[in-house]
Amino acid sequence: MSSIIKTLKNSLSTQILVGLILGITVGLFFGEMASVFAFLGDIFLRLFQMPVIPYIIVSLIGSLGRLNYQDAKSIFIKGGIVILVFWSITLFIVALFPLGFPNWQSSAFFSTSLLEESKSLNLLELFIPLNPFNSMANTIIPSLVLFCIATGLALITVDHKQELLKGLDSLTDALLKITQFVAKLTPLGVFAIAANAAGTLPLEAFQRLQVYIIIQAAIALILSFWVLPGLIAVLTPLKYKDIITAYRIPLVTAFATANLLIVLPLIINRSRELLLTLDNSADKNSLNIDAPLEVLVPVSFTFPSMGKLLSLAFVPFAAWYGGNSFPISQYPTFILAGLASFFGDGITAMRFLLNLLGIPTDMLQIYITLDQVSVGRFGTLLAGMNTIGLALLATCAINGLITIRRRKIIRFGLFSLIAVIVTLGSVHSFFTYGVGSKYTQDQKLTQLRLLRVQTPSEAVKVFTTPPPALTLNPDQNRLAQIRERKYIRVCYELNYPSSYFNSQDPPELVGFNIEMSHILAQDLGLGLELVPLNKDFNNRNISQIADSLNQGYCDINMSTLTLTPQLTEIIDFSIPFNNYTLAFLVQDRLREQFSQWSNLQSLPSLKIGITISIPYYKAKLKGLLPNAELIEVDSYEEFFNSENSPVDIMVTSAESGAAWTLLYPDYTIGIPKPILAVPVAYSLPYGERSLVNLVNAWLQLKEQDGTIQSLYNYWIQGQTSAVEPPRWSIIRDVLGWVK
């Protein structure tokens, strides 16, 4: 026991491992209650990141300042070539990543992040700082590195610089001491991060997430322990075994702490010792070793490493996770933007890439969680070997120790490629055929029940066939008649996720508009009758809607309608309570074609299905797509289920279309940019101002008290945690200590 305690006290890596295991255990034990540890995890991450920017500045300026121009030129040329080779290898493998994704169906609820306009990539702003202090404050690493390189190169010719260099060295040591102190807190930080992630990550999501975790870990290990050390052994006199042995401790430490910065001095020292074994001179000073190592190792930390670039694979994974394709045509933009953006902070870069490529930025939280718990460690391991490879290969190149043996290089390259492809193919086959995955996203939609109206009143009647129209008194306004009969009659139209019958036994009429109807009746102290807009529940006809309202079939139509000037001549509208976005239901493989209006306008012939004939919006759509043919279709089901559908795509709102893709996961929503949004409202009988004023006041109140937003989040965005049982935990589901 004493030896175990001694090892635990003296071994930081052991403490970190214990912290990780305890964190996962605590998370699984307490479940969602473990989210209290998120605050401690944030403190730890901030402390670790605090000295990074200052360290980059002082170490890079100081390392360059003590060189001469010839040495600096040689270091940057040789080091630059090595970096480009490493980037090429990593980006090629990232492009192969989707080969490992299994053939699983997936889809997702609507996300407002789909409506965010893509930001253009400003390479000038990214690489050339207008104000270096702004780059420091906003962690714009590429421009900061350029400033440091320019300052360091200028310092080469400055006289009397020794005192400044000594000061920079002292400051570097001080910053490293801060990092080393924070590193001692790593066991606590890892514990907090792991506890929060293990307690809050939905268990049903883990099956899909483990695909990425396994592929990323396997590729990182292949690159770290085969490709990079093997490439060094093929090109230099160094032996594979000696390389692995020399860097065992720094690599394990980097993996355990998920922080490369704390092992940079150790990597420099081990690299110097390993390279000195190649120096056959008596004084061991014939090789130029120290200067390249002192520059290249810090520089490797500022440029995107292989470990960092491997995280780019999360972007096509995020598309696959959400049930969207990632077409080959997007890869050039993806690779270029990814390489440039990963000069900066990884989280900022990932947010930018998801937005640029039209993938919901909600996936960013999953990326952060995976990075902190598992993926980041393998990425740090690969980043450590990337730094080692850069230091050894560039230093050997500077000293003329590189030997090009084509046959050996080709053989090594083929073996490496085969290893990567076999790994990806194995993961794909294992999850596709061995594990399998039952598609359940449709059930998440069809099993939803009312959120705020848990027990509808007995005064609620739901009609599935049209009842007789109400008898209207022409001498009395509609609101007075509603209060006199003590119930309000609401028209509904079946359309996901606004109004539909769920899969409960017996089926219940639910949805955003249905719940709004219940709340309206309750707030007015009235009973409620829900009546279908027409007997076929399909193709809306504007004149029929107007007749239904004006002739007394219903008092308010709470099937969502978009406002147009012409409609106000035959019916009244409430104030708009939301904006819906014009979108198209398309086959998943065609999603990219529908990302821009310009893409659609170039198509010679396009048959677009519409379920409602509103002249204003037909003219608007025809103006945007003059070559398209608009065809009226009875229902969305006709489009999805017909083998010989007369249309290629269906026009819809993004908010409604996303729900349909849950039921038909082979389809997705295409949202052309720039976004075209339209206001939506409820329709009421023409000329009934007292009823219109009441509904408007009620909608304003529901907007102010958050009702509309909470129902929008629940029904349209699928944020159902409020009605879902708490995440599985030992304390609740095994021991039963809490409810």
3-state secondary structure 93-143: HHHHHHHHCCCCCCCCCCCHHHHCCCCCCCHHHHHCCCCHHHHHHCCCHHH
**Paired tokens of 406:** 């084509």
Residue 697 pLDDT > 90 = yes
**Paired tokens of 703:** 């907007």
Q: pLDDT tens digit string along 57-85?
A: 887 788 778 777 777 788 888 888 999 99
Within 13 Å, how many C-alpha atoms sit on residue 509's CB side? 24
**In the predicted model, what is the mean pLDDT of residues 230-255?**
86
**In the predicted model, what is the mean pLDDT of residues 209-225?**
91
Three-class DSSP category at 235 = helix
**In the predicted model, what is the mean pLDDT of residues 181-191?**
79
Q: Which of 444, 439, 440, 437 is nearest to 207 (CA)?
A: 437
How crowded is residue 67: how many other Cβ atoms within 10 Å of its Cβ?
20
Could you tell me the pLDDT band of residue 513, with boundaries at 50, 70 and 90? very high
**Paired tokens of 508:** 């219940």
Mean pLDDT, the chain, as a whole number?
83
Question: How many helices (DSSP H) and strands (DSSP E) are in the chain?
Answer: 33, 13
Q: pLDDT tens digit string along 135-185?
A: 777 766 667 777 888 888 888 888 888 888 888 888 888 887 887 777 778
Q: Identify the pLDDT of residue 210.
A: 85
Going by the DSSP 8-state scheme, the letter that residue 596 receives in this structure is: B
What residue ranges of the chain are covered by domains with CATH 3.40.190.10? Answer: 445-576+684-716, 578-680
Q: Identify the pLDDT of residue 405.
A: 87
Lowest mean pLDDT among 9-13, 125-129, 526-530: 9-13
Q: Which residues pair with 651 in a beta bridge?
A: 584
Q: Identify the pLDDT of residue 535.
A: 46
**Paired tokens of 292:** 């390249």
β pairing state of 578-587 and 667-670? antiparallel
Per the CB < 8 A criterion, the answer to whether 217 and 380 are in contact is no
CA distance linking residue 708 with residue 512, whole number of Å: 9
Q: Which of 663, 675, 684 is nearest to 440 (CA)?
A: 663
Between residues 654 and 644, the one the model is more confident about: 654
CA distance linking residue 144 with residue 125, whole number of Å: 11
Q: Identify the pLDDT of residue 119.
A: 55
Lowest mean pLDDT among 91-95, 277-281, 332-336, 551-555: 277-281
Could you tell me the pLDDT band of residue 232, with boundaries at 50, 70 and 90? very high
β pairing state of 527-532 and 556-562? unpaired
Between residues 228 and 377, the one the model is more confident about: 228
Residue 259 pLDDT > 50 = yes
Which residues in 319-337 are b (16+ Cβ under 10 Å) and which e? bbbbbbbbeeebeeebbeb
Q: Identify the pLDDT of residue 633.
A: 82
Residues in the chain: 739
Between residues 726 and 711, the one the model is more confident about: 711
Residue 492 pLDDT > 70 = yes
Q: What is the CATH number that goes with domain 2-102+138-435?
A: 1.10.3860.10
Rounded to 5 degrees, what angle do the CA atoms 89, 94, 97 make?
A: 130
**In the predicted model, what is the mean pLDDT of residues 242-265?**
77
Reported pTM: 0.73
| Cβ-based neighbours of 733, under 8 Å, separated by 6 or more | none
Per the CB < 8 A criterion, the answer to whether 142 and 127 are in contact is yes
Per the CB < 8 A criterion, the answer to whether 145 and 156 are in contact is no
Q: DSSP alpha helices (H): ranges in 223-373?
A: 228-235, 240-246, 248-257, 264-276, 290-302, 306-309, 314-321, 331-341, 346-356, 363-370
Q: Identify the pLDDT of residue 704.
A: 95
The residue assigned the tokens 């609820």 is 109
Residue 223 pLDDT > 90 = yes
Residue 121 pLDDT > 60 = no
CA distance linking residue 527 with residue 346, whole number of Å: 55
Percent of the chain with pLDDT over 70: 88
Could you tell me the pLDDT band of residue 122, with boundaries at 50, 70 and 90? low
Q: What is the CATH number that goes with domain 445-576+684-716?
A: 3.40.190.10
**CATH class for the region spanning 578-680:** alpha beta
What residue ranges of the chain are covered by domains with CATH 1.10.3860.10? Answer: 2-102+138-435
Q: Identify the pLDDT of residue 10.
A: 62
The residue assigned the tokens 């290629």 is 648
* 434 CB burial (10 A radius; 0-12, 13-18, 19+): exposed
The residue assigned the tokens 């009395």 is 476
Residue 45 pLDDT > 90 = no
Kindly report the backbone phi and psi dihedral angles of residue 377, in degrees, each rounded to the nearest multiple of 5, phi listed first.
-70, -45
CA distance linking residue 105 with residue 322, whole number of Å: 9
CA distance linking residue 353 with residue 326, whole number of Å: 13
Determine what percent of the chain falls in helix, strand and coil, rounding each to the nearest 5.
60, 10, 30
Percent of the chain with pLDDT over 90: 26
Residue 647 pLDDT > 50 = yes
Lowest mean pLDDT among 81-90, 273-282, 419-428: 273-282
Within 13 Å, how many C-alpha atoms sit on residue 625's CB side? 20
Residue 536 pLDDT > 50 = no
Could you tell me the pLDDT band of residue 503, with boundaries at 50, 70 and 90? very high
**In the predicted model, what is the mean pLDDT of residues 381-396?**
90
CA distance linking residue 509 with residue 406, whole number of Å: 71
Lowest mean pLDDT among 122-126, 399-403, 691-695: 122-126
